[in-house]
Chains A and B, each alone.
Chain A
Amino acid sequence: MTDTKKPLGALIGRGIVYLLLGVWALTVLFPFYWMLLTSVKSYGSYNAEYVPKFYASSPTLQNYFDAFTAVPLARYFANTVLFTVLTTALMLAVIVPAAFAFSRLSFRGKDLLFTAILSLMMIPNELVIITNFVTVTNLNLRNTFTGLILPSVTSVFYIYLLKENFAQIPDELYYAAKVDGTSDWKYLWKVMLPICRPTVVTVTVLKVIECWNSYVWPRLITDDPSYYLVSGGIQEIRENGFGRENIPAMMAAVVVISVPLIVLFLVFRRKIMEGVARGGTKG
C-alpha cells in the first residue's frame, strides 16, 4: 500500500470501514461506561432521572462504600480469589506430571490411554455434573472449598495442550540430562517447564478467567452465602441485597467484580489473546 494518490472512492470506503468499526467499538464499550457512570450516581439522583443522563452531575463514591458494607462483597471477593488460586495451582500440579508422562515416559498401553483420555474431550460438562452433584452431596462436601474445587482440578484439554508442547522438545536434551544423572523430576522442572513457559502461562491465564467467572457449579454446590463466589454473589445481591431498586450500589459491586480481570487483561494483553487463540473455547 504505497500509493501516494488515492482515488476518492477508496477514501470514502476507508471512512466507512472506520465508521462501522467505531460503531461496534462503542457498542462494546457502552455497557462498561454505563456501569461506571451509574456507580457514581447517588441513589436519589439516579431514581430522579426519568430520562437517563449520560453524565453524573454530582459524582459520589458512597455506592462503593455501600457495596463493601451493606453486602458481604469483600467475602465473595476473597472466596473467589482463594478458589481461583487453589484450583489453578492444583490443576497445574495434576496436569503437568500427566503431560510429562504422556510425552516423555514410555509405558504399556500409553497410546491407548491417551486416545481414551482425548475422547473424553467430547463429553460436555452438563452430562457429568448431575452425578458430581450427587457425589459431592453424599460426601458431605457441600458448602466446602473441597467440594467447590475438586471437580475442576483436571482438564483433558490442557493435558493435551501441554503434552503437545512437551513433545516438541528434542529427545537429545533428555538423553543428555540422563547421562548427567539428572532425575526425571528434576528434568521436568529445570528443563521442560522453562522451555514450555508460554504454554504454561496460557493454560494458567485461561484457567484463571474460567475460575473467576464460574457460576454453574458453585451455584449447585453452595447455598450458604458465606461460600459464594462473585458470580453467585452478584446474583444474590441482585435478588436480596440492597433492595431491588438500589441500582447504583449494584453497579458499584459489578465494577469491583469486573476490574481484576480487565486489569489482568490490559497487563497481559498479548499473552492472553495469543493464548485464547490457541486454546480458548468460549463461544
Chain B
Amino acid sequence: MENNGKAWLYLLPALVLLGVFMIYPLIDVCVYSVEEGYNSASQTYFGVGTYNYSYILHDPYFLQALKNTLILVVITVPVSTGLALFISFGLTSIRKLRDLFQTIYFLPYVTNTLAVGLVFMILFKKTAYTDGMVNLLLSWFGGPSVDFIDGPYWAKMFVLCFYTVWIVLPFKILILTSALSSVNEVYYSAAKVDGTPKGRVFWRITLPMISPMIFYLVITGFIGAFKAYSDAVALFGTNLNAAEMNTIVGYIYDMLYGDSGGYPSYASAAAIVLFVIVLTITCINLSVSKKHVYY
C-alpha cells in the first residue's frame, strides 16, 4: 500500500474534473428537474414536484421534437445499417479499387457537420434564382420540383434523414468491413466443398458470424440518432422550432439558451426524459441481442 498517496496524486486532475463536470451535474440535473417555477435570475423556486415534466409533455414544441426524433430514428437506423451491410459486402467481394473506395467512403467522418450541411442545404434548396441541383436531377426523371428546405414536412424530413445517413455511414462501413474480413476463411471453404448455395452461405455463416458487430452498430445507431441535433441545425438554421424540424436535444438547448431560453428546469426534465427513452431502447436491444447474437 506504499503507493496510496502517489496514486491519488496521479488521479487527482481527472477525479476533480470528473467530479465538477460530470458527477455534480448529474445530481444537479435531477434536482433542477423537480424544482418548480425556478427563476434563473434570482435562483429561487416555489416548490418541488413533477410540474416540469408535465409542462414539457404538454408542450407542442416538445411533442413536435419527439415526433421528429422518433421518425428520424425509425428511418435512419435500419436504412444506414442495411446500406452499410450491403456496401461492406460489396467491398469485401472485390480487390481492385477497394482501397480507393474505402478511403472515399470514409470522408464524411472527417468533415465538419455544420460546414457540409450547408452544402447539402444548397443542393436541396429552391430559391427565386434557381431550383437547385437536386430539383434539376428530379426534372431529368420527370419529377416535380420541390423545396426541400422550406417546403413540405416530408421533404424536409427526407433531407434530414438523407444527410444523417450520409454522415453515419462511414463508421458503420468501417466496422462491418473489418468484421467481414475477420470471418475465418475455413467456414467458406467448408461450405464450398459442400456445394452450399451463396444465399445460404450468407444467411447461415456470414450473418451469424458478424451479428455481434451488427448489434453493436444498431445500439450505437439508436443512441446517436436519438441525440441528433447539429445535422438539423446545419440544414435548417438555428431556429428549428419555426422550421418544424426540432429534435429532443435541440429542444433542450432551446430551453436552456437562446431566444426562448432561461428555463434550466424544463431543459433538465427534457434531458431526463431523453435519457430514460435511450436507456429503455438500449435495454430492449441488449435483451433482443442475447437471443439472436452468436458470440
Contact of A130 among B105, B129, B172, B256 (CB under 8 A): B256
Contacting residues, chain B, for A25 (C-beta < 8 A): 101, 104-105
A144 contacts the other chain (Cβ, under 8 Å)? no
> Is B168 interfacial (CB-CB < 8 Å)?
yes
Interface secondary structure of A, over-half rule: helix
Asked if residues B129 and A47 are in contact (CB atoms below 8 Å), the reply is: yes
Question: CB within 8 A of B112: which of A135, A261, A280?
Answer: A261
**Interface contact A34-B115, CB-CB below 8 Å:** no
A106 x B264 contact (CB < 8 A): no
Least Cβ–Cβ distance between B66 and chain A, in angstroms? 14
Task: List the A side residues contacting B279 at CB < 8 Å.
Answer: 122
User: Any chain B CB within 8 A of the CB of A167?
Assistant: no
Tell whether, in the assembled complex, residue B25 and residue A135 are in contact, meaning their CB atoms are under 8 Å apart: yes
**Chain A CB within 8 A of B91 CB:** yes
CB distance from A172 to the nearest CB of B (A): 18
Separation of A173 and B15 alpha carbons in the complex (Å): 28
**Of residues 1 to 43 in B, which have CB atoms within 8 Å of A's CB atoms?**
1, 3-4, 6-8, 10-11, 13-15, 17-18, 20-26, 28-29, 32, 40
A130 close to B25 (CB less than 8 A)? yes
Q: Does B130 touch A at the CB level, under 8 Å?
A: yes
Contact pick for A234, options B112, B130, B224, CB 8 Å = B112
Interface string of A250-283 (1 = CB under 8 A from B): 1101100110011011100100110011001111
Q: Does A131 contact B (CB under 8 A)?
A: yes
B14 close to A154 (CB less than 8 A):
yes
Interface range, B side: 35 or more
Interface flags for A23-62 (1: CB within 8 Å of B; 0: not) read 0110111011011001000000001011110000000000
Q: How far is the CA of A169 from the CA of B278 in the complex (A)?
A: 37
Assuming the A-B contacts A262-B110, A282-B171, are A130 and B264 also in contact, with contact meaning beta carbons closer than 8 angstroms in the complex? yes
Judge whether A51 and B3 touch: CB under 8 Å.
no
Is B174 part of the contact surface with A, judged by Cβ < 8 Å? yes
In the complex the two chains form, is A216's CB within 8 Å of B118's CB?
Answer: no
Stretch at the interface among A63-71, A90-98, A189-197: A90-98
A123 partner residues in chain B, CB cutoff 8 A: 22, 26
User: Is the beta-carbon distance between A281 and B220 smaller than 8 angstroms?
Assistant: yes
Contact status B91-A234, CB under 8 Å: no
Which A164-205 residues have C-beta < 8 A from chain B?
184
**A72: CB under 8 A from chain B?**
no
In whole Å, how far is B150's beta carbon from the nearest beta carbon of chain A?
Answer: 13
Q: How many angstroms between the C-alpha atoms of A122 and B14 in the bound complex?
A: 18
B223 to chain A, nearest CB (A): 8
What 1/0 mask marks residues of chain A from 121 to 146 whose CB sits below 8 Å from any chain B CB? 01110111111111100000000000
Interface SS of chain B: helix
In the complex, A105→B173 CA distance in Å? 39
Q: A230 contacts B26, CB within 8 Å?
A: no
> Are the C-beta atoms of A127 and B29 separated by less than 8 Å?
yes
Residues from chain B with Cβ under 8 Å of A27 in the complex: 166
Residue of A95, A102, A215 with most partner-chain B CB within 10 A: A215
B93 within 8 A of A: yes
Q: How far is the CB of B43 from chain A (nearest CB, A)?
A: 9
Find B114's partner among A117, A124, A184, A231 (CB 8 Å cutoff): A231
Report the bound CA distance from A254 to B109 in whole Å.
16
Contact, CB under 8 Å: A131 / B14: no
Beta-carbon contact of B14 and A106 below 8 Å: no
Asked whether A51 lies within 8 Å of B136 as measured between CB atoms, the reply is: yes
User: Are A238 and B233 in contact (CB-based, < 8 A)?
Assistant: no
Using known A-B contacts A265-B107, A283-B221, determine if residue A215 contacts B178 with beta carbons closer than 8 Å.
no
Chain A residues whose CB sits within 8 angstroms of the CB of B155 once the complex forms:
none
Name the A residues within 8 Å of B25 (CB-CB): 127-132, 135
B73 at the interface (CB under 8 A from A): no
Residues in B whose Cβ lies below 8 Å from that of A265: 106-107, 110
Q: Is the CB of A107 within 8 A of B220?
A: no
Beta-carbon contact of A131 and B29 below 8 Å: yes
Contacting residues, chain A, for B233 (C-beta < 8 A): 215, 235
Q: What are 12 A-B interface contacts by the 8 Å CB criterion?
A: A17-B94, A24-B87, A38-B122, A50-B129, A52-B132, A97-B14, A127-B29, A235-B114, A235-B238, A251-B119, A281-B220, A281-B224
* Chain B positions near chain A (C-beta within 8 angstroms): 1, 3-4, 6-8, 10-11, 13-15, 17-18, 20-26, 28-29, 32, 40, 80, 86-87, 90-91, 93-94, 97, 101-116, 118-120, 122-123, 129-133, 136, 166-172, 174-175, 178, 217, 220-221, 223-224, 227, 229-230, 233, 237-238, 249, 252-253, 256-257, 264, 267-268, 271-272, 274-275, 278-279
Given contacts A18-B97, A50-B129, A130-B252, 6 further A-B contacts (CB under 8 A): A47-B129, A94-B13, A95-B14, A98-B13, A107-B3, A266-B103
